[in-house]
């Protein structure tokens, strides 16, 4: 069973008598990866990425907006407060994973980290973009919409080329993918998936496969990632 690393939030949290900064992640992510056949190791924000060398795959979870300075832009007024340690950690983890040829799955923010790492940029507030559909009615809520995928892509191998329904809860999205290839789009043209064609498995999706309602639809994507991690482990 491959062992994959899952990035985590660093946020104020309260439990029992305690209210402290905490490294945390919604259980949905862990449950999804276990259902896909992986053993999960949590990766707190850390500038030292040496732990990655002991793992078989990297999953980058959703979360707060990436600091716009990372792609040489001024922050939009709606942008989240920067999470500097998480931005630095995930960009370093992703860079190391690509150096190792390790399978990567980016989810929502994770896709955006991938794009920024490859020299891309983000749309900082989708409601300001002309002609966009609703991708988030309010923070913490999900909406459904259709997405389609390029025929010769990992995403299409999993989902097919006919439009499928995905979920959404984001106000930012990839603008320029940098060196990545765009392989999925919403009906309004918003980028829904990117891949590195030079990698065996390096896929980022803008939706949230970890949501329990998505388990039947998205488990094949996770199983494809876990299979790639298993193959990576066998050769390293």
Q: Which two tokens stand for residue 39?
A: 């053993």
Nearest Cα residue to 145 out of 159, 134, 161, 158: 134
Q: How far apart are alpha carbons 24 and 139 in whole angstroms?
A: 18
Q: How far apart are alpha carbons 38 and 187 in whole angstroms?
A: 33
Query: Which value, to the nearest 10 degrees, does the dihedral of the CA atoms of residues 96, 102, 108, 110 take?
Result: -10
Active site includes 230? no
| Angle, vertex CA 116, rays to CA 187 and CA 233, nearest 5 | 95
Any residues with CB less than 8 A from the CB of 160 and at least 6 apart, and which? 149
Residue 138: CB atoms within 10 Å: 8
Owner of token pair 């050769």: 235
Out of 135, 170, 171, 208, which one is annotated catalytic?
Answer: 208
Active site includes 179? no
Active site includes 210? yes
Q: How far apart are alpha carbons 173 and 20 in whole angstroms?
A: 31
Q: At what angle do helices 84-100 and 109-117 cross, to 10 degrees?
A: 70
| Angle, vertex CA 167, rays to CA 228 and CA 75, nearest 5 | 90
Q: What are phi and psi of 57, to 5 degrees?
A: -170, 160
Out of 8, 108, 194, 202, which one is annotated catalytic?
Answer: 108
Q: Return the active site residues.
A: 108, 208, 210
């Amino acid at each position: 069973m491959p062992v994959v690393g899952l990035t985590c939030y660093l946020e104020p949290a309260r439990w029992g008598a305690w209210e402290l900064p905490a490294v945390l992640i919604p259980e949905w992510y862990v449950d999804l990866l276990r259902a896909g056949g992986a053993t999960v190791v949590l990766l707190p924000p850390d500038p030292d990425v040496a732990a990655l060398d002991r793992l078989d795959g990297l999953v980058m979870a959703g979360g707060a907006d990436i600091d716009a300075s990372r792609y040489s832009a001024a922050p939009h007024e709606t942008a989240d407060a920067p999470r500097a340690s998480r931005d630095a950690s995930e960009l370093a983890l992703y860079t190391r994973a690509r150096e190792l040829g390790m399978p990567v799955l980016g989810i929502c923010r994770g896709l955006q980290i991938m794009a920024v790492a490859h020299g891309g940029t983000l749309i900082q507030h989708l409601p300001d973009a002309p002609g966009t559909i609703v991708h988030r009615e309010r923070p913490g809520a999900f909406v459904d919409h259709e997405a389609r995928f390029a025929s010769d892509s990992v995403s299409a191998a999993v989902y097919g080329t006919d439009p499928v329904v995905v979920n959404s809860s984001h106000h930012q999205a990839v603008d320029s993918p940098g060196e990545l290839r765009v392989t999925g789009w919403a009906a309004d043209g918003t980028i829904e998936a990117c891949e590195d064609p030079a990698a065996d498995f390096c896929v980022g999706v803008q939706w949230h496969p970890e949501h329990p309602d998505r388990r039947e639809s998205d488990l094949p994507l996770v199983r494809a990632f876990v299979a790639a991690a298993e193959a990576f482990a066998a050769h390293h």
